[in-house]
Amino acid sequence: MAFSSSPPAPPSVGGTGPVESPSGKSAATENFPVGSVLLSARVRPHVACYYAFARAIDDIADAPALSGADKIARLDGFEAAILGRMGPDPAFAKAHALRESLAATGVPARHATDLVEAFRRDARRNRTHSWDDLMDYCALSAAPVGRYLIALHGGSRSGGVEASDALCAALQVINHLQDAADDYRDLDRVYLPADWMAEAGARVEDLALPAATPAVRAVMDRCLEGCDRLMDRARALPWDIRDGRLALEAAVIVEIALALIARLRRQDPLAVRVKLDKPALIGCAVRGLARGTWALVRSRFRKETPQEARP
């Protein structure tokens, strides 16, 4: 993404009143643990700062009462604040706080500005053309989260982020399936690939029905097959992360993603809210911690690549 050499004028919303549009969502409503006790106390404030920024701009993109142009103006303001292209403005406090955090930790600003670009895309269009189009969106809306955490924790053993990107994309698709009815009803937004919808004979209007039609179910199952392929790569993530505590958290998140995929196959997200209950989450934590601990032991006593270390 290219920027002009001179700072742009501050967006018209800056300084004229509230810019954020809180949805009421929080870290407690996410599919995965955010800044959990598995992470060191040293990094948790920075993770919380990043999440607060991401939550604020996500809420703007998802605000039904805002026009597309208004959303983009507000998102542009957050980007300008992150990049130091505006003076202090309390309306963009979360962006200014994250800018300070990024400066203190040396994490690139791109992991924040890519999120802004993803949500600008949401403000500009409300349909997804294909699976590849959806993966391009996930590369901006989800992958930066994993990349931020890996950068914050000293990088990966392989020097790459393929496994992290795959896990983040799978979690994003899972979330789209969970929220398919709400996204259509509240925002007229559809993340299910349009070409797969057409091939199956599904209509976007079907997402307003109280239960998935066979055609919509076929598209959702195809998306879950895509998630399976992503998870084949994501399983290597705990072995690839240098920081032991983050590796444990990644192992738990891998288990949560696998459990949600299995549950979405059994349940209809148009009929019920598909989520994991407390016993299921505890089971994911136990399995993840066991696998993560095994990954740490093997990586300590054996020199192996993440691919060789897959379970």
> Is pLDDT at 3 greater than 50 in this prediction?
no
pLDDT of residue 1: 31
> Is pLDDT at 269 greater than 80 in this prediction?
yes
> Is pLDDT at 18 greater than 60 in this prediction?
yes
pLDDT of residue 297: 76
> Is pLDDT at 30 greater than 50 in this prediction?
yes
Q: How far apart are the first and last CA of the chain?
A: 38
Yes or no: say if 187 and 126 are a contact pair by the CB < 8 Å rule: yes
> In which band, very low, low, confident or very high, does the pLDDT at 35 lie, cut at 50, 70 and 90?
low
> Is pLDDT at 17 greater than 60 in this prediction?
no
Q: Which fold has domain 125-311?
A: Farnesyl Diphosphate Synthase (1.10.600)
Yes or no: say if 193 and 219 are a contact pair by the CB < 8 Å rule: yes
Instruction: Give the distance, in angstroms, between the CA of residue 131 and the centroid of all CA atoms in the same chain.
Output: 17
> Is pLDDT at 152 greater than 50 in this prediction?
yes
> Is pLDDT at 185 greater than 50 in this prediction?
yes
- What string of DSSP letters covers the chain? ----SSPPPPPTTTTSS------S--GGGSSS-SS-TTS-TTTHHHHHHHHHHHHHHHHHHT-TTS-HHHHHHHHHHHHHHHTT-S---GGGHHHHHHHHHHHHHT--THHHHHHHHHHHHHHH--B---HHHHHHHHHHHTHHHHHHHHHHTT-BSSS--HHHHHHHHHHHHHHHHHTHHHHHHHH--B-S-HHHHHHHT--GGGGGSSS--HHHHHHHHHHHHHHHHHHHHHTTHHHHBSSHHHHHHHHHHHHHHHHHHHHHHHS-TTTS-----HHHHHHHHHHHHHHHHHHHHHHHHS---TTTT--
Total count of residues recorded for the chain: 311
In the predicted model, what is the mean pLDDT of the chain? 89
Mean pLDDT, range 249-270, rounded to an integer: 97
> Is pLDDT at 243 greater than 80 in this prediction?
yes
Cα–Cα dist 235/310, whole Å: 7
What whole-number percentage of the chain has pLDDT above 90? Answer: 78
> Is pLDDT at 29 greater than 60 in this prediction?
no
In terms of pLDDT, which residue wins out, 10 or 171? 171
Q: Which amino acid makes up residue 22?
A: P
pLDDT of residue 234: 97
Predicted TM-score (pTM) of the model is 0.87
Q: Which amino acid makes up residue 221?
A: D
> Is pLDDT at 306 greater than 60 in this prediction?
no
The tokens of 73 are what? 């103006």
Pinpoint the residues of the chain covered by CATH 1.10.600.10.
125-311
pLDDT of residue 295: 73
> Is pLDDT at 73 greater than 50 in this prediction?
yes
> Is pLDDT at 225 greater than 80 in this prediction?
yes
The tokens of 187 are what? 């925002």
pLDDT of residue 28: 53
pLDDT of residue 5: 32
Mean pLDDT, range 100-112, rounded to an integer: 97
